[in-house]
A and B are shown apart, each in its own frame.
Chain A
Amino acid sequence: MDRRNFLKVVAGATVIAASPSLIRGNLYAADGTLYKAYEKTQLVDAAGKPIKASALEKEVTYIFNYPHASTPCMLINLPKPTTKDVELTSEGGEKYVWKSGVGKERSVVAYVAICTHQMTHPTPNDSFIAYVPTAKKTMAYEKSGIIVCSSHLSAFDAGAGAKVLGGAATQPLNSVVLEHAADDTLWAVGILGSDKFQDYFKSFRPELKEFYGGPAEAKKLVSISAKTVKLTEYSKEIIQY
């Protein structure tokens, strides 16, 4: 390797070390971390204006589609700071670490809104999966302030990497890795955890055709920005037990 090429490699490695979102593909670190980077995408509102972390209403479920055009994700501003460095285990036994929420209070989290049990997810018609605010009760678990899939009553810890608290789910919800910029904007950069996107595309083929036009459109990767709206605007009906 000549001097010029050596410098190129060093420069590339430095940029990746400074910004993990520049990495594409799967990363399996020595400690078992499971992370897949996707296009860095800014979360914007229905009018296309950037979402600011501090402007998010507390305990409200927002929805944006990422990393694919048809894969819904939840964005929640929790009432208190999240736990740090939560060790999680995938269905296949892989260990990985969820770092924490983002924002000034470390309370903003995002998870893929596809239940890891039987892939219940929000659609424009209805949603059986959502965050249950602390003031509401749920049948799925003894306390609220958690994410509940009301199909089979799986409960996930919203403040700890969507760790399974109860029900039939056998692994946490996948996390959307967020970057919180200095100007308070939010960016999705990748997915943490063992995803089920391919199963999802296969299982919901007719539904995705109805809402997105076909498998190719449904699988299309999101880039530049992702429209983020309240779940109440995304789905006509929210069912929560």
Chain B
Amino acid sequence: MKKALAALVVGTLLAGSLNAAEKKDPRLELMQDMRTMMDAMEQIQRGGLYSSTDEMKAGVKKLQGTLKSLESEEVKTILPKDQVYAYKFAQKTAQMLRMYSDDMIVSIEAGRMDNALDDYTQLLKQCTSCHIRIRNW
């Protein structure tokens, strides 16, 4: 019984420390954010193609939830080392993502779906623009 309890404690501590280490690595957080962004973009596109404004709005909410780290100075810690100097560009991209996604909500509320879908196109363009720059495509 004691052995089992000890193993449980050690296991919990190990899992906790691994979790803490994972949380401390901003690059892992960025990778997670990027996956969430991709999901969000897919959700917006799905909403647009299936005429579901709720789905589009949910996608926007998900997307905006990932922008904080890119908009802040924290972005310096998550960019590849050779691209840290370009952090202003990444910040600008995040600001543009916020602007187009905010406009998408305004357009949906106003029933201007052509503008909302234009915003989707611009969001995708911002994603590819940043990837071309930061990943040296």
Interface residues of A (CB under 8 A from B): 118, 126, 128, 150-152, 168, 202-203, 205-207, 210, 237, 239, 241
Closest residue of chain B to A206 (Cβ to Cβ) is B103
B27 within 8 A of A: no
Question: Do most interface residues of chain B lie in helix, strand or loop, or is the interface mixed?
Answer: helix
Q: Name the contact of B133 in the complex, choosing from A152, A202, A207, A239 (C-beta under 8 A).
A: A152
State which of A151, A152, A207, A241 has its C-beta within 8 Å of the C-beta of B99. A207
Contact assessment for B92 and A128 in the assembled complex, using a CB-CB cutoff below 8 Å = yes
Contact B129 A205 (CB under 8 A): no
Kindly provide the distance from the CB of B113 to the nearest chain A CB, expressed in whole angstroms. Answer: 14
Asked if residues B102 and A206 are in contact (CB atoms below 8 Å), the reply is yes
CB distance from B45 to the nearest CB of A (A): 18
Closest 7 CB pairs of A and B: A206-B103, A239-B88, A206-B99, A152-B133, A118-B129, A203-B122, A151-B89
* 11 contacts across the A-B interface (CB closer than 8 A): A126-B88, A128-B89, A151-B89, A202-B118, A206-B99, A206-B100, A206-B102, A206-B119, A210-B99, A237-B88, A239-B92
Closest Cβ–Cβ distance, residue B29 to chain A (whole Å): 25
Q: Which positions 67-90 of chain B face chain A at CB distance < 8 Å?
A: 85-86, 88-89
Contacts of A237 in B (CB 8 A): 88
Q: How many pairs, one residue from A and one from B, have CB atoms within 8 Å of each other in the complex?
A: 33
Q: Do A239 and B100 form a contact, CB below 8 Å, given A152-B132, A202-B118?
A: no
Point out the residues of chain A lying under 8 angstroms from B85, CB to CB: 241
Contact A151 B133, beta carbon cutoff 8 Å = yes
| Assembly CA distance A128 to B129 (angstroms) | 14
With known contacts A128-B92, A241-B85, A205–B132 Cβ distance under 8 A: no
Q: How far is B118's CA from A210's CA once the two chains are assembled, in angstroms? A: 17
Interface status of B64 (Cβ within 8 A of chain A): no
Contact A151 to B102, CB < 8 A, known contacts A205-B115, A239-B88, A241-B85:
no
Q: How far is the CA of A137 from the CA of B2 in the complex (A)?
A: 68
User: 8 extra interchain contacts, Cβ-Cβ under 8 A, other than A152-B133, A239-B92?
Assistant: A151-B89, A151-B133, A152-B129, A203-B122, A203-B125, A206-B102, A237-B88, A239-B88
The answer on a CB contact under 8 Å between A151 and B129 is yes
Residues on B with beta carbons closer than 8 Å to the beta carbon of A152: 129, 132-133
Q: How far is the CA of A210 from the CA of B96 in the complex (A)?
A: 13
Give the complex CA separation of A202 and B89 in angstroms.
Answer: 22
- In the complex, which residue of chain A has the Cβ closest to the Cβ of B101? A206
Q: Which residue of chain B is the closest to A139 with respect to CB atoms?
A: B85
Distance (whole angstroms) from the CB of A236 to the closest CB of chain B: 12
CB pair A205–B118 under 8 Å, yes or no, is: yes
Partner of B89, one of A205, A207, A210, A239: A239
Once the chains are docked, how many angstroms separate the CA of A210 from the CA of B88?
21
A43 to B69, CA, bound (A): 42
Chain B residues, CB < 8 A from A205: 103, 115, 118
A152 to B99, CA, bound (A): 21
Q: How far is the CB of A122 from chain B (nearest CB, A)?
A: 12
List chain A residues, Cβ under 8 A from B89. Answer: 128, 150-151, 239
Q: Which residues of A contact B133 (CB under 8 A)?
A: 151-152
